[in-house]
Amino acid sequence: MRLRPHPPSVWSIGRRFVKSSRHRRFWGGDEAAGDRTRGGIKHHQPFRPTANHPQDQAVTDHQNLINARTSRQRHGNRAKIVGSDAGSRGLCGDFAGLGVQTPPKQSQSANQQDTHKCHQGLDRFHRFRFNPKQTNDEKTAALTNDADTILRPEAVGAEEAGTRLDKWLSARLPDLSRTRIKGLIDDGRVSAAEVTITDASARVKPGQNFVIAIPPDRPADPLPQAMDLTVVYEDDDLIVIDKPAGLVVHPAPGSPDHTLVNALLAHCGDSLSGIGGVKRPGIVHRIDKDTSGLLVVAKNDRAHHGLAEQFASHSLERLYRALVWGVPTPPQGTIEGNIGRSPQDRKKMAIVSHGGKPALTRYRLLRPLAGGTVSLVECRLATGRTHQIRVHMTSIGHPLVGDQTYGRSRSAKLRHLSDSARHALSSFPRQALHAATLGFNHPVSGAILRFESNLPNDFNWLISILEAV
């Protein structure tokens, strides 16, 4: 009796496939894996799945298809190896995982479609990888969306070698928080030498160049919501609002509705300019949630362009009144320094020595209060950076009263005050800052417009208590 040799098991087939695949990748047979090794990504593991690398997927799909065909020729259609995510990733091959199941019958047209998909992916890989005439911008575009914003910071310096990737990028891109950068890395939006990097803790090396692809925002349309507004001036082109403290200007994370934009949509209808974006129709500038005062909003594109040009050239008049701790010395002066995200706390702004945006504030002492414990000052903005007055006044040792972000405890200076004054200062619920004057040229008629706003009730109440000390 002649015994037929037992056919190799599915497990042995899978082991042979995995072993040969690992051998090719470890010794450089996989071109993409070799590039990652040469690219200097410290924590890359060659045996990990490469689903995060779009340029590798076409080669993997093609190899899977070849092995699947070989398996069917040798052993028929008794069993096949399938991956749990084969369908979601669009894999064509049979060896995408290690589960065993009886394959359903597939028509010839379906097989042809699978083969066509794999050939398309392989063609795309070759166009991306092996076209010597393709520029870096074209290669980047092959793996990104046309709507993405592409950032290319300068190469890593020798003194920066060994820094974490997310920390290095946050220093080079001050407009992005470290949390935002980590999210971009996790989403496969950061690459070096055409290789996607998904490890935020990877250490950078001298001379490395990184490309960051920032996807466009996909905001929801804000809905009109009727609210009481203090309208100082309005015509067919613009509207000037006296914003109360506590009102957010436009929808943002944590404040999706009940903002000034929602109120303006109810007040103005569809006439608001759309240049500011879906979530910011008509908004030319903004003031912080807990800052009160004057704000101008464009109602059409022409007005929006005209106002934006005046803000860009710093030709507007913007005057704020603030209560600060202590008495500034000298009584008037100029504070100048680039403002960017704080290296110590990415949620705060600070005067930075590298990067940031130029900022200039002129201040003037109006009068000291409570024996010099607090002073009423006037601040004129030559530029309009985020938290500019709060950051600049803090930098000279006179933070704003009630500022929980930049203010410091003044318990020592409160001891000589009355109980009512001490309680009023320590419990003031917001930064004591008010946009008191706004002047500009009408963007359509050219007429000079200047508006003033009186101090709000909470501001006057605090001043009256301090004047009584």
pLDDT digits 0-9 by tens, 124-168 = 444 444 444 445 555 444 445 666 889 999 999 999 999 999 999
Percentage with pLDDT > 90 across the chain: 45
Could you tell me what percentage of the chain is helix, strand and coil, using 3-state DSSP and rounding each to the nearest 5? 35, 20, 45
Residue 345 tokens read as 């706390």
SS3 of 67, please? Answer: helix
State the Cα–Cα distance between residues 377 and 284, nearest whole angstrom. Answer: 26
State the Cα–Cα distance between residues 286 and 297, nearest whole angstrom. Answer: 9
pLDDT tens track for 187-234: 889 999 989 998 999 999 999 999 999 887 655 578 889 999 999 999
State the Cα–Cα distance between residues 262 and 249, nearest whole angstrom. Answer: 9
Tell me the torsion sign for CA atoms 459, 460, 465, 468.
positive
pLDDT tens track for 384-442: 999 999 999 999 999 999 999 998 767 777 888 999 999 999 899 999 999 999 999 99
Confirm if 397 and 254 have CB atoms less than 8 A apart: no
Confirm if 460 and 467 have CB atoms less than 8 A apart: no
CA distances (Å), 207 to each of 39, 44, 349, in order? 10, 19, 29
**Contacts with 105 (C-beta within 8 Å, 6 or more apart), sequence order:** none
- Nearest CA to 407 out of 426, 423, 381, 422 is that of 426
Could you tell me the fold of the domain covering 231-467? Pseudouridine synthase (3.30.2350)
Which one-letter DSSP state was computed for residue 346? T
CA distances (Å), 133 to each of 128, 137, 178, 192, in order? 10, 12, 36, 19
- Pair type for strands 80-82 and 99-101: antiparallel
**Catalytic site residue 288?**
yes
State the Cα–Cα distance between residues 351 and 338, nearest whole angstrom. Answer: 5
Superfamily of domain 143-214: RNA-binding S4 domain (3.10.290.10)
Burial status of residue 362 (CB atoms within 10 A of its CB: 0-12, 13-18, 19 or more)? middle
Rg of the chain over all Cα atoms, to the nearest angstrom? 31
**Contacts with 440 (C-beta within 8 Å, 6 or more apart), sequence order:** 296, 307, 310, 315, 316, 317, 449
Q: Where are the domains of the chain?
A: 10-129, 143-214, 231-467
Name the catalytic one among 35, 94, 242, 288.
288
